[in-house]
Structure 1
Amino acid sequence: MGTTRRAFLGTSLGLAAAVTTALPASAEDRRRIPRGGIGMHLYTMRDVLAKDFAGTVEQLAEIGYATVGVSGRHGHGAADIRRMLDTAGLRAVLEHVAYTMLSGAGLPQALEDLHTLGAKWPVVPSLPGSMHSVAGYREAARQFNRIGAASREAGLGPVLFHNHDGDHDVLGGENLYDILVRETDPHLVAFELDVYWATKGGAHPATYFVEHPHRFPALHVKDMAPDGSFADVGSGTLDFAAMFEDADTGGVRQWLVEHDTPKDPFATARNSYAYLAALRY
């Protein structure tokens, strides 16, 4: 009887465990974006920043944002921006710096400015149109490795590359973006994946997370309206919950909101933050 009872209990417990595993996770059990990882890429706010930089970043902090990506200084020096961010309680995590500056004589100053800002990553926002070829992207990969080595030597993180849709073009049988991923050193070069532009270019962000782990420390979280234009995060067609299931594998640490043409930047900031703060995946 004892053996039979133990076998019955073991079978029952096994069935219970199987049923529990099969049940969908409740909202409370699913992952959420860390509040310290929800940021605003300041290109979204450029019009209001030009009028009142300090007041704008203060309002972003009041909404709940913890970090920012710097894109354009609007006449302020790095030290002034750092002071305004500190006062607001925000932290800069990266700055977009032109490829021509990072690949040229401006690199040392750009890295020094990142230290001043308190940021970690220099970001190449785009490549010159003249480099839109297989040979051009191979040269960019070579330069990225050099820039990333200098950034690491300066005590910063790897250089990041921010994509647009054209970066996912296939030329001569070669995917341009894949050249950058494949021909750069993961210790020196990583990526700020813009999920809108990747999707528009025919790529699947989640696939990159799985196939190239830990290469995507920052995202531009940008939504796509049904007509293909920009939308506030959570109001468009992109399935962020599904997209972010493998974000940990991809190494994502910063989810930076962006909208290229917001009608009301503060409304976009509020709507997008509310969605990301409530998102479970």
Structure 2
Amino acid sequence: MESRRTFLKLAVGTTVAMGLTSGIAAAEPLHSVPLDHIGIQLYTVRSLMTTDAQGTLDALSAIGYATVGVSGLYGHSPQAFRAMLDKANLRAVLTHTSWDAMRADAAREIETARVLGVRYLVVPSLPGSLQTVAGYSLAASEFGKWGVLARGAGLKFLFHNHGVDFKTVDGRVLYDILVEETDPRFVNFELDIYWIYHGGYDPLDYFARYPGRFPVYHVKDRAPDGSFEDVGHGTLDWPAIFRRYEQSGIREYVVEHDQPKVPLTSAARSHEYLRNVRF
């Protein structure tokens, strides 16, 4: 009888343990933002880059940033700028050019991107004169050509949105024209999370509608009054956004704050949030 009681206790204990283990195994594991893919758009620290580019890059590296998005060369040649990045142990993952610069000399812009060592060449905005269905269709056509050229140089071409890109004109959302009239082999998107919300749309809907088209996020938070805020200190639900990493196609998380009061303090607060957030 005693041996039977012992057997039953062992059996019950094993069953409970298996149930607990099964529950743990079934739970969704938490993920984090890869530390070597946390970057910052240098536009955030533009006031400092103008006066001390190397010192600013060194400071961003000391905070813990692994990558940057380039926003102009601040009077330096592409080669000199690349040397400063290398000295700071930072990797440029993207560079912003412009619609006009690409139309004037796409080959030159691609060569600058190649020297900087980036993966992505980005047009960050379109002229107001193009804010029509025909204008965005023209942009999509040009993007396709530039995407082919970029791919030939080992780069990828992206477009970065602002809120105005989500205007509805003649029954069509302008941004949707760019996504739907371009080939994902050659054209994809740097999604500015602040601006898509500011434009009245939810990035989660776009991830579901256009999976894999968003390899870069501008990680930019929104204060309750609609102004810019340090990442993790505003109103946006970053864990919900980051959980869609497979669906969106995200590879690079690039912090940006358009109007920081103290740029390096803002950069440090955003980096602290990104390296600790779990989703």
Q: How many residues get paired?
A: 271
2:243 — aligned with what? 245
Q: What's the CA shift for 1:14?
A: 8.7
Alignment of 1:62-77 (within 5 A): 62-77=62-77
Provide the C-alpha distance between the structure 1 equivalents of 2:268 and 2:16, rounded to a whole number of angstroms: 49
Does 1:93 pair with 2:101?
A: no
1:193-232 equivalent positions in 2, closer than 5 A? 193-232=191-230
The secondary structure found in structure 2 opposite 1:106 is helix
Gaps of 5+ in 1: none
SS state of the match for residue 152, structure 1? helix
> For the structure 1 residues 207 and 17, does the alpha-carbon distance in structure 2 shift closer, same or farther, using more than 3 Å as the test?
farther
CA RMSD of aligned residues (A): 2.1
Matched, 1:112 2:111: yes
Q: How far is 1:19 from its partner? A: 4.5
Residues in 2 aligned to 1:178 and 1:115: alpha-carbon distance in whole angstroms: 29
Mapped to 1, the partners of 2:267 and 2:151 lie a distance apart of 32
Deviation at 1:105, TM superposition (A): 3.1
Q: Report the alpha carbon displacement of residue 230 of structure 1 after superposing the two structures with TM.
A: 0.4
Taking the aligned partners of 2:45 and 2:63, their CA distance within structure 1 comes to: 14
Deviation at 1:204, TM superposition (A): 1.1
Q: Which residue of 1 aligns with 2:5?
A: none
Q: Distance in 2 between matches of 1:131 and 1:152?
A: 25
Say if 2:145 is the partner of 1:153.
no
Moved more, 270-279 or 71-80: 71-80
Matched, 1:131 2:130: yes
What SS is found at the alignment partner of 2:125? coil
In the TM superposition, residue 100 of structure 1 has moved relative to its aligned partner by 1.3
One-letter code of the match for 2:243? E
Percent sequence identity is 47
Do 1:210 and 1:246's aligned partners in 2 also have CA atoms closer than 8 Å? no
- Offset of residue 248 of structure 1: 2.2
Q: Which runs of 4+ in 1 moved over 2 A?
A: 11-23
Q: Rg bigger for which structure?
A: 2
> C-alpha separation between the residues in 1 aligned to 2:120 and 2:49?
22
Give the aligned residue type for 1:273: H
Structure 2: tracts of 5 or more residues without a match: 1-7
Which deviations, in whole Å up to 9, do the C-alpha atoms of 1:59-89 show, x marking residues without a partner? Answer: 0000000000001211111111100000000
Matched residue, 2:187: 189
Name 2:171's counterpart in structure 1.
Answer: 173
Q: CA–CA distance in 1 between the matches of 2:185 and 2:58?
A: 35
